[in-house]
Amino acid sequence: MPDPRGHALVTGASSGIGIAIAREYARRGVPLVLTARRAERLQALAAELRAQVKVHVVPADLADPAAPQALADAIAARGLPVRILVNNAGYGVPGRYLKNDWRTHAAFLQVMVGAVSELTWRLLPAIRDSGDGRILNVASFAALVPSADGQTLYAPAKAFMVRFSESLALENADAGLHATALCPGFTHSEFHDVTGTRAMMSKLPQWMWLDADDVARAGIDAVERGEVVVVPGAVYKLLRFATKHLPDRFILRRMAKNSSRIRSTE
């Protein structure tokens, strides 16, 4: 049966884990608000999912500092109550820090930190008022281990999402709100095509890769349980256990040795 209590707003819903999360919520009967830059992709996904639930499309480019308020205003103007917020929009900037100009880094931080913070702030009152609100922040396994060479701001931005989720979970438990940081490892999606690292990533063994649908289910199940940080996949659970018990200097040495296999370090 469709969920009458409110919509799930999914950012970055035009590809990868975002599509998988939207499909999983539709399967569970939750009406959707989909946003991303690529309106035509959103419309195609909406047409697919409308056989299951009501779907609304509100395109937005979260690299624009004005976008979070405009998105929240558009949702309010349509009278769409949001009970679930999925902060999924994101990407990587390959290469070392000085390879790219500051405008590139500023846009990245706006999407990964600024928009996440502001959109959550603007929608949080309604999510709290729902009585069983959910916030699912799509972070990364990279947030839980020492950073690699290349994509210098990626792991710090994802680490912010983990700490942000922890604070939100504590501050809003009184309202029945659950906040979760989803921390997947390497996941089959368009992410590495966008960053131009597909050929490099294809050299990694298959056991290191996760399926986007499995990641989506793990995240949604975790936020329903009230689990604050979730790492999908047995391999990554084991790796997290190992990294928590090994000295950082040892892991950093391994990162220095292997970064060129998984990151553009030029």
Q: What is the pLDDT of residues 176-190, one digit of tens each?
A: 999 999 999 999 866
For residue 91, indicate whether it is catalytic: no
Pairing of strands 229-230, 82-87: unpaired
Tokens 């396994």, residue located: 141
**b/e for 77-111, b at 16 or more Cβ within 10 A?**
eeebbbbbbbbbbbbbbbbeeeeeeeeeeebbbbb
pTM above 0.85, yes or no: yes
Domains in the chain: boundaries: 7-262
Name every residue whose Cβ is closer than 8 Å to that of residue 84 and which is 6 or more positions away in sequence: 6, 7, 8, 9, 25, 30, 127, 133, 134, 135, 136
Task: Out of 1.10.630.10, 3.40.50.150, 3.40.50.720, 3.90.550.10, select the CATH number for domain 7-262.
Answer: 3.40.50.720
Identify the active-site residue in 25, 91, 154, 236: 154
Span 10-58, pLDDT tens digits: 999 999 999 999 999 999 999 999 999 999 999 999 999 999 999 999 9
Span 149-208, pLDDT tens digits: 888 999 999 999 999 999 999 999 999 999 999 999 999 866 544 544 445 555 666 767
Q: CA–CA separation, 150 vs 263, rounded Å?
A: 6
